[in-house]
């Protein structure tokens, strides 16, 4: 029995170029704060992994309980302020440096988090 073949239909895919902040693209409130917290949480997760810490060990090091570590590692950041996340980075032996400068003329002012190794 011969296999049936069908002609594929060409469909145009709609897309939108990102602004660089998914939270702004989704029109969520406080997109800059959300992106900052997400970037800090990603770096915390990377550090926990690179140090070989399990969630209980990480919780002890950061002074919180294990369920909060679980939330942090899964991106559930509602209960964490930016200040608290920066304190966690300090507890993981990282410096946090904040630089303030005038915005470039061709764009509006914004917040950027740069995480280096």
Does any domain span residue 102?
no
- All residues at 6 or more sequence positions from 113 whose CB lies less than 8 Å from its CB, including other chains: 35, 36, 39, 40
Does any domain span residue 7?
no
- What is the total count of domains within the chain? 1
Does any domain span residue 97?
no
pLDDT digits (tens, 9 = 90+) for 32-69: 999 999 999 999 999 999 999 999 999 999 999 999 99
Give the whole-number percent of the chain exceeding pLDDT 90: 56
Task: List strand residue ranges (DSSP E) for 20-114, in order.
Answer: none
Does any domain span residue 50?
yes
3-17, 52-66, 71-85: least confident range: 3-17
Question: Can you give the residue range of the structural domain that contains 62?
Answer: 30-91
Does any domain span residue 62?
yes
Does any domain span residue 101?
no
Question: Can you give the CATH number for the domain in which 37 is found?
Answer: 1.10.260.40
11-22 in b/e burial notation, b at 16+ Cβ within 10 A? eeeeeeeeeebe
pLDDT band for position 13 (50/70/90)?
A: confident
């Amino acid at each position: 029995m011969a296999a049936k073949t069908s002609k594929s239909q060409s469909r145009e895919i709609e897309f939108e170029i990102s602004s660089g902040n998914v939270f702004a693209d989704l029109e969520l409130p406080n997109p800059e704060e959300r992106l900052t917290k997400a970037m800090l949480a990603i770096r915390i997760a990377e550090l926990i992994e690179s140090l070989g810490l399990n969630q209980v060990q990480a919780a002890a090091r950061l002074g919180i309980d294990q369920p909060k570590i679980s939330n942090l590692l899964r991106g559930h950041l509602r209960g964490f302020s930016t200040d608290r996340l920066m304190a966690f980075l300090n507890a993981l032996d990282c410096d946090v440096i904040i630089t303030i400068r005038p915005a470039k003329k061709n764009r509006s002012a914004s917040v950027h988090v740069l995480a280096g190794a």
